[in-house]
Structure 1
Amino acid sequence: MIASHSESHLVLIPSYNTGPKLFETVQAARQHWAPVWVVVDGSTDGTAEDLHRMAADDPNLRVLVLPVNRGKGAAVLHGLIEAERCGFTHVLTMDADGQHPADRIPQFQGVSQANPEALVLGRPVFDAAAPRLRVRGRRISNWWANLETLWGGIDDSLFGFRVYPIAPLRRVMARNPWMRRFDFDPEAAVRLCWNGVPTINVPAPVRYFKPEEGGVSHFRYLRDNALLTWMHTRLMLGFLGRLPMLAVRRARKASFRSSHR
């Protein structure tokens, strides 16, 4: 049973060789929202064909296929362009591996519908199965993201369960060649903050699956941390040029909060 349907907000799931977990994720998302779109990012595991069969029986499920793997950010951008062309204004992105809570989709979309100008960020709540190395490592990226926005309200820079307003994200991605792979989530949050998009943080549980449970991870510790290091180097250079503007914006926010107490 579908809990919600929207003409403005859709669920967008980028996927690359996620295997059977993808179908569980799509089915769970469809139980709570319509429409749901999947961008198959050059997968070679046969999931595109099975998804097309699912979509043939479900008018609220759409499958977009990229011929080669381009990266998460590129897959999201492909979906954004088509979503905007079809009249949608917001997308909730979620990972295809089952880690993100489909039952929270209506809550996040509802927050976005009430605050359409905002970026609604998930704040992950980890269980005991979460890899300690990755939990600790993300704190470093979160610290840098908050420094780069002068503590602009990013509780977690890496959690991909979030609702984007399409128009400002499209403009940000059109202006630079980055944000096309694993660097997409943190850089998108930082650059949207730079562009004055307010943030709302909402807690959401995250679950890590073991390989024997069907868990799939394409995270590579050295490669992806090198990518994040280069990303934060770029962002720090951009931050220094924007520091006066960010300081004025932060002062205005503080003044507004104090005057409304």
Structure 2
Amino acid sequence: MTSRDPLRRVCVCIPTYQERASLPGVLQRLRQAVPEADVLVIDDASPDGTGALADGIAAHDDRVHVLHRPGKEGLGPAYLAGFAWAAERGYDAVVEMDADGSHQPEQLPALLAAADSGGGADVVIGSRWIPGGSVHRWPQHRKALSVGANTYTRLALGLPVHDATAGFRVYRLPQLTRLVSGPVASQGYCFQVDLTLRAVEQGLRVVEVPIAFVERVEGTSKMTGDIVREAMVRVGVWAVMRRSRQVREHLTRRSRSRWHHPEEAM
């Protein structure tokens, strides 16, 4: 197992849009679960005043910070802004986490342990679809959609990951900086698939840790048909590109082998 430096400074990034009802409880639970971590609320100018509420909490807790963005641009751009903020301040790891309570803060220590010096993972995914993982308060059609999407993604892209769309994650920051060094156009939950694919292709160690995912009680889901369609289309395009690249690499190796061993071609 490759050794890793211990995670001394962790930044939990929480994108928000219309999360005024759920955010205070999530922040309170998070500060209790991992009191040594800092929290960055990334608010996309929520009309319900989520950003102002976060400012009020941050004014009384020096571990909570708020990054205000001018408008709603999607999950991917919000996280990229949070990653840049954390990188500028020298954190060792970044956590992705939803503001609606579906990602339980009490389970974050297990994810951090898998990325810490003893676990050695570069990317840790809180997985719903491995043994020990579970989903609560979801209707059957929502479960079927998630399982089907992840099965399609795993088979199409050849990923050794069962929950590539999961949004509860830990990234070691040096490795994350490499993943997002190029353009990242993905929006919505396809952003998670994009970074998973990049991590696998770059040879990073990706580990899944089982979590209990709990459907939100307050507010409304941000999942839309457009988000699902974006993910399906992009995964299909990435699959074609990846298979084409693998074929080209195979043909190149075969051509070089024949060049060095011409008797094999006769």
The TM-score range, normalised by the shorter chain, is: 0.7 to 0.9
Q: Is residue 2:148 matched to residue 1:147?
A: no
Give the structure 2 partner of residue 121 of structure 1: 125
Matches of 2:144 and 2:213 in 1, distance apart?
Answer: 15
Q: Identify the range of structure 1 (109-118 vs 194-203) with the bigger mean alpha-carbon deviation.
A: 109-118
Q: Paired residue for 1:190, among 166, 184, 197?
A: 197
Q: TM-score, normalised by structure 1?
A: 0.83
Structure-1 separation of matches of 2:155 and 2:198: 13
Q: Which residue in 1 is equivalent to 2:107?
A: 104
Please say which structure displays the higher CA radius of gyration. Answer: 2
What is the SS of the residue equivalent to 1:64? strand
> Shift of residue 243 of structure 1?
3.0
Say if 1:94 and 1:128 are closer, same or farther in 2 by CA, change over 3 A.
closer
Contact 2:156 2:236 in 1 (8 A): no
CA distance in 2: counterparts of 1:141 and 1:27, whole angstroms:
33
Native 8 Å contact 1:29 1:102 kept in 2: yes
Residues 118 and 199 in structure 1, CA contact (< 8 A), matched pair in contact too = yes
What is the alpha-carbon distance in structure 2 between the residues aligned to residue 40 and residue 116 of structure 1? 32
Find out whether 1:51 has 2:59 as its counterpart.
no
In structure 2, do the counterparts of structure 1 residues 93 and 128 end up closer, same or farther at CA, with 3 Å as the change threshold?
A: closer
One-letter identity of the residue aligned with 1:118: D
Note if 1:133 corresponds to 2:141. yes
Task: Specify the code of the residue in structure 1 equivalent to 2:47.
Answer: T
User: What is the RMSD of the two structures over their aligned residues, measured on CA atoms?
Assistant: 2.3
The aligned residue for residue 178 of structure 1 is 185
Is 1:15–1:96's contact at 8 Å kept on the other side of the alignment?
yes
Please give the per-residue CA displacement for 1:202-241, whole angstroms capped at 9, x wherever unaligned: 00101113xxx41421111x21221111211221123214
Q: 1: CA distance between counterparts of 2:247 and 2:93?
A: 30
State the partner residue of 1:254.
none
Q: Is the 8 A contact 1:42 1:66 kept in 2?
A: yes
Query: Could you tell me which of 79, 83, 99 is aligned with 2:82?
Result: 79
- How many percent identity over aligned positions? 25
Q: 1:238 to 1:166 in 2, by over 3 A?
A: farther
Aligned counterpart, 1:91: 94
Structure 2: which 5+ residue stretches go unaligned? 1-6, 251-266
Question: Is contact 1:92–1:164 with CA below 8 Å preserved after alignment?
Answer: yes
Partner of 2:24: 23
Q: Which secondary structure does the structure 2 equivalent of 1:174 belong to?
A: coil
**Residue identity in the other structure for 1:218:** K
Letter of the 1:132 counterpart: Q
Which amino acid in the other structure matches residue 138 of structure 1? S
The whole-number CA distance in structure 1 between the counterparts of 2:227 and 2:26 is 24
Would the alpha carbon gap of residues 59 and 218 (structure 1) be closer, same or farther in structure 2, given more than 3 Å must change?
Answer: same
**Deviation at residue 8 of structure 1 after TM alignment:** 2.7
Please point out which of 156, 168, 172 is paired with 2:163. 156
Give the superposition deviation at 1:131.
2.3
Runs of 4+ in structure 1 over 6 Å off: 244-247
1:13 and 1:37 in contact (8 A); partners too: yes
Compared with structure 1, are the counterparts of its residues 175 and 201 closer, same or farther at alpha carbon in structure 2 (3 Å cutoff)?
Answer: same
**CA–CA separation in structure 1 for the residues paired with 2:237 and 2:95:** 26
Task: Give deviations 1:112-164, integer Å, cap 9, x for gaps.
Answer: 11345521011123345212222111222212332344242x12011211111
Residue type of the alignment partner of 1:112: A
- Matching residue of 2:175: 168
Structure 1, unaligned stretches of length 5 or more? 1-5, 248-261
Q: Secondary structure at the match of 2:53?
A: helix
